[in-house]
Structure 1
Amino acid sequence: MLRPMDLALVGTDPGISPNEDGLPGLPVIRSIVGALLTWGLVACVAGLVISVIVWALAHQQGNYQYAQGGKSGVVVSAGGALLIGAANAIVGFFAGLGAGV
């Protein structure tokens, strides 16, 4: 059976927070993740260019199935670039939201 004193201990903050000195290699990992962000954005640009070309050529030739695929590629590439560009803000937002719980 829980006593009122035990309930007070359950809600106590353990005092753990992110720290940059806990593990070695953090600058290397940040560099790798930054490079992955760059590669992702380059892939989104390439996907967008290819999708626009497919969309335009397919529409011009009357191939509406490929034109629809090109449209989908444009939306997916733009959405990917949006999410990659906002990755730091999204993670920061949810980390702050989680810290407030």
Structure 2
Amino acid sequence: MIDIDPNGTGLPGIEQLRVIVGAVMTVGLILSVLALIISAIIWGFGANSSNPHLAARGKLGVLVSCAAAVICGASVTLINFFWNVGQTV
């Protein structure tokens, strides 16, 4: 039986890589909020100007930005969940 676990100290620079990944997650969340605000404005302009194409694009942008925020925010939990599922196989 082979028992291998992730080694957090095996390579130099692992701690810096964790800091970089955390910063990228923060930037992703900030950009998701910005995209949500812009998409909501576009949706409002489309709805108020009787432009269904613009309103539909705004709705899609709101959904995509919300999904991106969920993925960025839950990425660590998702990875840990699938890691644990993989360990039981």
TM range (shorter): over 0.9
The equivalent of 1:49 in structure 2 is 37
Aligned residues: 89
Percent pairwise identity: 40
Counterpart of 1:98 (choices 75, 86, 89) is 86
The match for 1:74 among 48, 56, 62 is 62
How high is the TM-score relative to the length of structure 2?
Answer: 0.96
Q: Structure 1: which amino acid aligns with 2:81? A: F
Kindly report structure 1 stretches of 4+ aligned residues shifted beyond 2 Å.
Answer: none
Residue in structure 2 matched with residue 40 of structure 1 by the alignment: 28
Secondary structure of 1:86's aligned partner: helix
2:41 is the counterpart of 1:60: no
Indicate the residue corresponding to 2:15 in structure 1: 27
Could you tell me which runs of 5 or more consecutive residues in structure 2 were left unpaired when the two chains were aligned. Answer: none
Work out which of the two has the higher radius of gyration on C-alpha atoms and give 1 or 2: 1
TM-score by length of 1: 0.85
Instruction: Say what the alpha-carbon RMSD is for the aligned residues.
Output: 0.7
Equivalent residue of 2:12, what SS? Answer: coil
